[in-house]
Structure 1
Amino acid sequence: MFKARLSVWLGVLVAVVATQFAVVVWLVNQSELERSRSLRAKDALVQYLDLAANKQRLKVWFAQYLLTDAAPVPLRDRYLERMQASLVELERLHALEAADPSDQAIETVSRQTLAALQTNFEALRAQILQAQPHTPHPNPSSERATVWDEMLGVFDISQGQDMRTLIAEAIRLQETHSRATEAAAQTALERSRRLAIFSILSTIALSMGFVAYFAWDIRRRMAPLLDGTLALQAGRMEHRIAVHGRDEFDRLSLSFNRMAEEIQLHRANEASQRQRLEDAVAQRTQDLHAANQQLLEIDRSRRQFFANISHELRTPTTAILGEAEISLRRSGHAESVYREALERVAATARQLGARIAELMSVARQGEDSLQGERHPIDMPALLQQALEQQRGAAAAQGLDLQLQGQALELLQALPGQGLQLRGQAAKLGQALTILLDNALRYTPSPGSVRLGASLDLATPQPRLVLCVEDSGIGMAPEELGRASERYWRAEAARRLRPEGMGLGLAIAADIAAAHEGRLELQARPEGGCRACLILPLDAAAQD
């Protein structure tokens, strides 16, 4: 079985690695032991050297003491403390060497030397501490020489041994021992390094062989399964894998063959069901799309209808309120003045009723109701009527509303030139009212609004141009192209009049288009805006 073979090989690999690890650990411990021996030998050598140096410094101090009586006592105590510390450290190091069997020979020699040095140090310290300044003597030089000879005996001789020779021999012995232990430590470290490299390389080689063998075996056993997977991915559900044994891969092959059979059966059923479902979904989607388009169109028509109603009712209502407020503020005038104001209110109210009737017609028939029967239009009367309707609102806002130049004379002379404007007077009056209302609404006080007319004969068909100019907030050049879109308003207009809906210019543009003309907006260099209705003229009918 593949699993059993894999477990055996893994066990062998783990055992080899564990053995190599144990050997490497042992070698590392040996290297550490040799390094500790080398460090102890070096520390002992340093302490012997410090002991000899401090002893020499103490001798110099004592000579100064004999000659001048001015040698500093703290310096003497410091030298004694250092010598005592060196002896204590040597005692500790020799105790460690005594515990190591390999250091027994050097430890025996060092212990004898250390005992002699300790005895000499005790005698020297006692003699140094008892020394007193010399008293007057007939021959001071002779006295100092005697004291110096006595101290030299203490410094250099102890129990018949020459301390200088003893310390020098101890230093030589420690140097030899230090070099030997350092060489042993280097040898152990090199041996550990070589064995570690060998262990690592052998483990890598064994692991690579193990991985290569099982990778080859797994790839050989997985190839049929991979081919079967690719066959299923390509849609060949009849593909089956040959089974030759009963190990894990053979059982996986059997499971793959049973899975392929199930997939083949389910795919056949799924194909037939999917086709039926797709047909039903396509039909239902088509029905829903048609219904959704119908609902969207109904909703659009409803929104536009109510927007038109709100705008159509607002403009005449504004004119009526303006006339009424002007009349209420007047007092002491003749009855004719009030009659004229009431007549204008009545005329505007009739127009309001006509707008309501037309909007109801739009709601019943759609916007095609704009295309009605056309009649010749009395343009001077139309301009005068539009001007009079807005005059009250202009006065209430403190604005100057006037007819520009020779507009009336020009319009009265059109029939004499064989030209006339045909269309729906009520609709054109509505468009003019919208333009005047917009100009008044977006012109701050004090300001002016002018209604003018001109004739364009440069085109094949003569055109009448009706323009409303104001000194108001105007529009940026990049905003003029969108001004006639429904529900769109310029930024400055929204700040000044946040309650608007952006329908007036769109309705005026529709009315102009219904008369085969267009609405054109321009920015005035001196500020404000110019809105023009450009309408084609027809030849006047002959009797």
Structure 2
Amino acid sequence: MFIWIGRLCRARRRYSAAMFRAKLLLALSLLGLLALTEGGVALWAQRSAVQQVQRGRLTSDILKGYIELSANKQRLRSWAAQRLLADSATDTLRDSLLQDMQAGLAQLHALAGQLDLLEAALQEPGRREIRQRSLDVLERHLLELGRALKGLAALPPGTDATQASQRLRSLFDESQGQDLRRLLNAEMEAERLATSQSRQAADQALRAIDRGVTWLSAGALMLTLALLAYFAWALRQPLDALMRGARALREGDLGHRIPAKGRDEFGELARSFNQMAGELQQHRAQEQADRALLEDMVQARTAELRQALDTLQALDARRRRFFAELSHELRTPATAIRGEAEVALRGGERPAQDYREALQRIVDTVGQFSHVLGDLSQLARSEVEALAMREDLLAWPPLLARSCEQAAVLARAAQLRFDWQLRPSSDAARLRGDAQRLSQALAIVLDNARRYSRPGGAIRLQAVEEGGQLRIDLLDEGIGVAEQDLPQVFDRLFRGEAARAHRPDGLGLGLAIARDIVQAHGGDIALSNRETPGCHLRLNLPLVTGGVEA
């Protein structure tokens, strides 16, 4: 601690710019040193007191052990007297008393060992050798006494009581040439004296703690008050100047400056404050320039928002047009059905052929009406069931075969030739997905190829396994798609001019629904024009093998 304080003092002399900080560190170091000294003294005194208390407890426990040992010895002496004079004492009581005395000696040995260690820590000589010698004498005496008592028999009738008394004294009071009563009394007196000394030493340690803490606390208080007075005086003027400067900045007076006196921390702080005030003046000018720039940016953003609003209005117009077209699509077949029915019912009886032709026209019109409703149903179902997608392992050849067989029937009815070829490379490859939704997507693209093909044309489908995917190529000889319309063919509600001219019915939902189904299964779909008239649609779906993706 003193070395650290010396270094702080040298640093104070070396760096005058850190003068006040060095003073503060020096003051804190002095207070810390005083606190450490106070704590050290208290810790030392407390440790001494604790050791003395422990020593007193051990000596008191040893004294208690000697007293219990002496009491048990007296009980055993009474038992021996009964055995000699009346032969009425039981062996059970003798064995119990001997066992208690052995346990008491074992405990005295343990307590003596603990006391020896504690006295060694206190660097006090103690009574280690004397105590150990006495315990050894008592232990050997107890062994001899136990053997003697097990063979003790009653004296013959008419024996003088003096002989019994001498017999008891030789058994209990004399051993190895020593008077055991005197030995026990000496040990108990020594432990009483040690207990008293330990208590006195503990009291002295506590009084030392009290005196040391009192004097050190008083010194720390006086030093703290002196340092507080000094630093309060040293901080008043610079803090007042800083407060005046802060108040000026708060009121907007950026030209206010604090006198920078001295080379200590407060002088450095005053110079930093003045520099900050100058920078604030520059920032105010920059802020005004930034504000003007921000206004320009807001105007630009407003223009972008206005453009976005125009886009939304265009989308709203497209939505309105869609509902207008939808209304027209629904109203036209309904009007035609009603008109055919009214014409058939108007006037008198007609030939059956007229009614048959009218009903056929109504059936055709209902077919167009059903097609429009089917597109709307697919749109609603694709929105509602977007999250209801099952995942099964499906064998793809039977799935495609069923869709192709249905498409072949419809193609023949439209005077088209439909050829299809499925080339599976292994039986283990499967599709993971929803069979119903995949069949729906296949039906959409096959129906789309049929609707935009001319009678006498051909449609070809080929499915092969390639690179862990199922590749489906669908080629038709239909009307094709304008190049500018290709990026939008999969958008909802989009129909090109050529498609509208070829088939006025339809809402432009089929390919969008097929794309959503394919993408939900991890695949992709694309449409392009062929060199000859017609379109080429390619559909890729991932395959799995044995439950693991191929």
TM, length-normalised to structure 1: 0.51
CA drift at 1:308: 1.4
- Matched with 1:477 is none
Asked if residue 254 in structure 1 is aligned to residue 271 in structure 2, the reply is yes
Identify unmatched segments of 5+ residues in structure 1: 353-498, 500-543
Amino acid paired to 2:272: S
Matched residue of 1:242: which SS? coil
Asked if residue 71 in structure 1 is aligned to residue 87 in structure 2, the reply is no
Matched residue of 1:237: which SS? coil
Matched residue of 2:55: which SS? helix
Q: Following superposition of structure 1 onto structure 2, how do residues 277-292 of structure 1 map, counting pairs within 5 Å?
A: 277=293, 280-281=296-297, 283-284=299-300, 287-288=303-304, 290-292=306-308
Residues 35 and 220 in structure 2, CA contact (< 8 A), matched pair in contact too: yes
Relative distance call for 1:28 and 1:278 in structure 2 (3 A) is: closer
- Matched with 1:4 is 22
1:461-490, CA deviations, whole angstroms, 9 ceiling, x for partnerless residues? xxxxxxxxxxxxxxxxxxxxxxxxxxxxxx
- Matched with 1:309 is 325
Residues 37 and 181 in structure 1, CA contact (< 8 A), matched pair in contact too: yes
Matched residue of 1:14: which SS? helix
CA drift at 1:52: 0.6
Asked if residue 42 in structure 1 is aligned to residue 63 in structure 2, the reply is no
Relative distance call for 1:78 and 1:345 in structure 2 (3 A) is: same
Distance 2:222 2:266 in 1: 28
Residues 80 and 125 in structure 1, CA contact (< 8 A), matched pair in contact too: no
Distance 2:361 2:135 in 1: 138
CA drift at 1:175: 2.6
Matched residue of 2:91: which SS? coil
1:154 pairs, out of 165, 171, 179, with 171
Residues 42 and 178 in structure 1, CA contact (< 8 A), matched pair in contact too: yes
Residues 41 and 174 in structure 1, CA contact (< 8 A), matched pair in contact too: yes
Asked if residue 222 in structure 1 is aligned to residue 239 in structure 2, the reply is yes
2:262 pairs, out of 245, 259, 263, with 245
Asked if residue 82 in structure 1 is aligned to residue 98 in structure 2, the reply is no
1:281-326, CA deviations, whole angstroms, 9 ceiling, x for partnerless residues? 4654554455444444333223212211212321331454688899
CA drift at 1:78: 0.9
Distance 1:120 1:306 in 2: 117
Amino acid paired to 2:91: A
Distance 1:317 1:166 in 2: 132
Distance 2:281 2:114 in 1: 86
Across the two proteins, how many residue pairs are aligned to each other? Answer: 342
Matched residue of 1:187: which SS? helix
Distance 2:313 2:111 in 1: 109
Asked if residue 181 in structure 1 is aligned to residue 202 in structure 2, the reply is no
Distance 1:166 1:219 in 2: 78
Q: Following superposition of structure 1 onto structure 2, how do residues 467-486 of structure 1 map, counting pairs within 5 Å?
A: none
Amino acid paired to 1:9: A
Distance 2:280 2:52 in 1: 72
- Matched with 1:298 is 314
1:315-350, CA deviations, whole angstroms, 9 ceiling, x for partnerless residues? 33145468889999xxxx94278469849979x99x
Distance 1:163 1:335 in 2: 152
- Matched with 1:62 is 80
Distance 1:17 1:146 in 2: 75
Distance 1:90 1:53 in 2: 19
Q: Which has the larger radius of gyration?
A: 1
Matched residue of 1:140: which SS? coil
Residues 82 and 88 in structure 2, CA contact (< 8 A), matched pair in contact too: yes
1:122 pairs, out of 136, 140, 147, with 140
Residues 61 and 71 in structure 1, CA contact (< 8 A), matched pair in contact too: no
Identify unmatched segments of 5+ residues in structure 2: 1-18, 369-506, 508-550
Residues 61 and 76 in structure 1, CA contact (< 8 A), matched pair in contact too: no
Residues 50 and 86 in structure 1, CA contact (< 8 A), matched pair in contact too: no
- Matched with 1:192 is 209
1:8-57, CA deviations, whole angstroms, 9 ceiling, x for partnerless residues? 22232233223223322332232234224322321331222122122113
Relative distance call for 1:195 and 1:288 in structure 2 (3 A) is: same
Relative distance call for 1:148 and 1:127 in structure 2 (3 A) is: farther
Residues 34 and 184 in structure 1, CA contact (< 8 A), matched pair in contact too: yes
Residues 58 and 79 in structure 1, CA contact (< 8 A), matched pair in contact too: no
Residues 55 and 79 in structure 1, CA contact (< 8 A), matched pair in contact too: no
Relative distance call for 1:217 and 1:97 in structure 2 (3 A) is: closer
Relative distance call for 1:250 and 1:287 in structure 2 (3 A) is: same
Relative distance call for 1:281 and 1:122 in structure 2 (3 A) is: closer
- Matched with 1:23 is 41
Distance 2:153 2:273 in 1: 117
CA drift at 1:86: 5.8
Matched residue of 1:68: which SS? coil
Identity %: 25
Relative distance call for 1:114 and 1:49 in structure 2 (3 A) is: farther
Residues 53 and 198 in structure 2, CA contact (< 8 A), matched pair in contact too: yes
Question: Which stretch of structure 1 is more off in the superposition, 22-31 or 139-148?
Answer: 139-148
Relative distance call for 1:127 and 1:28 in structure 2 (3 A) is: closer
Residues 48 and 171 in structure 1, CA contact (< 8 A), matched pair in contact too: yes
- Matched with 1:386 is none
- Matched with 2:32 is 14
Distance 2:338 2:161 in 1: 139
CA drift at 1:198: 4.7
Relative distance call for 1:131 and 1:154 in structure 2 (3 A) is: closer
1:496-525, CA deviations, whole angstroms, 9 ceiling, x for partnerless residues? xxx9xxxxxxxxxxxxxxxxxxxxxxxxxx
Residues 34 and 181 in structure 1, CA contact (< 8 A), matched pair in contact too: yes
Relative distance call for 1:219 and 1:344 in structure 2 (3 A) is: farther
Residues 145 and 172 in structure 2, CA contact (< 8 A), matched pair in contact too: no
Distance 2:114 2:30 in 1: 46
RMSD value, Cα? 4.7
